[in-house]
Amino acid sequence: MKNDEALHPPVDPIMSGIKGHCPRCGQGRLFDGFLKVRPACTNCELDYRFADAGDGPVVFVILIVGFVVVGAALWMEVNVNPPLWLHFLLWIPLATVMSLALTRMLKGVLINLQYRNNARSGEIDRG
């Protein structure tokens, strides 16, 4: 049992990350602003220096948003055949909003999973 499990019961990393909460206590805020990670939790004072999501959230966002937007645009082009300006009017705002919302959520989830699995940079074997 990890040292902090006696004070803080395990938190669901997926829901905690989506909400942008602390990976240890599940109550403090993870972000300071939109995507900037706070220095520490305001509730349990967990130091967030370990948190480095890197490019992971952006890769997932590109794949998910690309699949949804390109698939919907192709379906609409084949079945409805709208003018080009309507494509721009629909898909550019949708891709922008989806990208911004998913980036924050996926960054929170990846940081929470990083804490839960005790992941560190450059380590393969911990034995």
pLDDT values of the chain reduced to their tens digit, one per residue, 127 residues = 355 556 778 899 999 999 999 999 999 999 999 999 999 998 899 999 888 888 989 999 999 999 999 999 999 999 999 999 999 999 999 999 999 999 999 999 999 999 998 877 666 665 5
Asked if residue 70 is part of any domain, the answer here is yes
Helix axes 56-79, 84-116, angle to 10 degrees: 150
Whole-structure pTM value: 0.83
Residue 1: predicted pLDDT = 39
Query: Mind listing the pLDDT tens digit for each residue in 67-91?
Result: 999 999 999 999 999 999 999 999 9
Asked if residue 76 is part of any domain, the answer here is yes
Asked if residue 125 is part of any domain, the answer here is no
Asked if residue 48 is part of any domain, the answer here is yes
> How many domains, the chain?
1
Asked if residue 123 is part of any domain, the answer here is no
First-to-last alpha carbon distance for the chain, in angstroms, is 17
Domain of residue 58, residue span: 3-116
Residue 29: predicted pLDDT = 93
Residue 10: predicted pLDDT = 86
Asked if residue 127 is part of any domain, the answer here is no
Query: In angstroms, rounded to a whole number, what is the distance separating the alpha carbons of residues 102 and 127?
Result: 35
Query: Mind listing the pLDDT tens digit for each residue in 20-30?
Result: 999 999 999 99
Query: In angstroms, rounded to a whole number, what is the distance separating the alpha carbons of residues 77 and 56?
Result: 31
Nearest C-alpha neighbor of 115 from the set 48, 58, 54 = 48
Using alpha carbons, list the distances in angstroms from residue 23 to 6, 19, 73, 80, 91: 15, 11, 37, 46, 34
Asked if residue 34 is part of any domain, the answer here is yes
Asked if residue 126 is part of any domain, the answer here is no
